[in-house]
Structure 1
Amino acid sequence: MRIAIAGAGAVGRSIASELIEAGHTVMLIERQPQQFVPETVEGADWVLGDACEVSTLEDSGLQLCDVVIAATGDDKVNLVLSLLAKTEFAVRRVVARVNNPANEWLFNESWGVDVAVSTPRILAAMVEEAVSVGDLVRLMTFRQGRANLVEMTLPPDTPLAGKAVRELTLPRDAALVTILRGERVIVPQPDDPLEPGDELLFVSASGAEPEIRHALGVDGGDAETTP
């Protein structure tokens, strides 16, 4: 894929390096001359210009990109670029970085954002996941909050120990996608037994989380969420 990244700071450069290593063609757009350092990511095409200017985007060939990543440290810039990429250049997929969690509600389809990535929220979710056992934790949201990745680590006294995956009475809008057991990543099969310490990862509609909790024998309301 051809991917454009706006913002050649530490975040943008790191993303670019990972994507190039994965075999993608990457273009970095940076407006600050002091951060325009092509030798830091030699495999990328570099463009010096303002990603909020239509002329810059036209000259750089944004219309040829499959994905645009708005990764600057300014939420206003990321929103404007997302909207331009989607409405003016018909980019199929737009990913935007959210710097201030208070602005997260803006990063939706109305602004051309397909996927919003909030670093503070992800970090908080990872911390919570690391310390929570026996409760449902929401790790990530998809499709503007309509679907979530949720996780539960089965406690030592789980009533599910020894039960087969097929015995989980999950709601229709939820799926157990992975079991992490020690160093193993298990694609769950109906007859696979569950064990204490298993980390279960589900993809579900937001409204299905209370039913997942019930199926896992967790009392209480909605899934734990990050601030």
Structure 2
Amino acid sequence: MNKPITKVIAYCGAAIATVAAATTLTLGSTMALFSASQTSASSSFTSGTVSVGLGSTSTTCNVTAMTPGDSSTNYGSGSVSLTPCDYKVKYTGSVAAYLAVDVTVTAGTTALYTATSSGLQMKVGVNGGATVMSGTTYKNTSGADTTLVAGTPVTNILLSTTPAATNDASTFNIDYLLPLLAPNSLQGGTASITLTFHAVQAANQSVGSCVAGQQCSTIVWS
């Protein structure tokens, strides 16, 4: 069985590998940066393809001076005026594989993400497919909404119960909201979200009762 290779910085050297996309938001007068693979000084949003397999590319989404009530266009509430981070995740391995994502949210010294309804909210998922994170929660192996605690990685959220074939691609979205009732204590706050995509061969594996958008422990990921 091919094993995924987990890297935070984009790196490939096997038929099935892992690529990470890092995202950073800042509240206040300083610039904040969304990035995949590495930090960029660019102040524009660009789309690209994050490859799981041989090769990789990065995308950068910048948000500046967020204030309470600000949100991206697809969040569904708030100002819906800021640009979301949208990009493609492409599988380039040579065998059919199940894809999953690991999620880690990190809070800055002044925490913008507080894991409460008054801090930064994020919606993360596949366009037209699985939802990975909604507000401050993800779904565990039993499907229960579980609060994502800053600094604690959430692993093996299944993206689809259908194995990916070579060159299959899906659009991945990160939308965000800073609630109107965010307290003054969040001024100058920062938070980052790191998404690590990984793949493992589908042959001789059973998806069992796993559901897309939930943690899956039936599949042997490594």
The verdict on a shared fold, with TM-score over 0.5 as the criterion, is: no
| Bigger fraction of residues in helix | 1
Q: Which TM-score band (shorter chain)? A: under 0.3
Kindly name which structure, 1 or 2, has the bigger radius of gyration based on alpha carbons: 1
| Bigger fraction of residues in strand | 2
What TM-score do the two structures reach when normalised by structure 2?
0.26
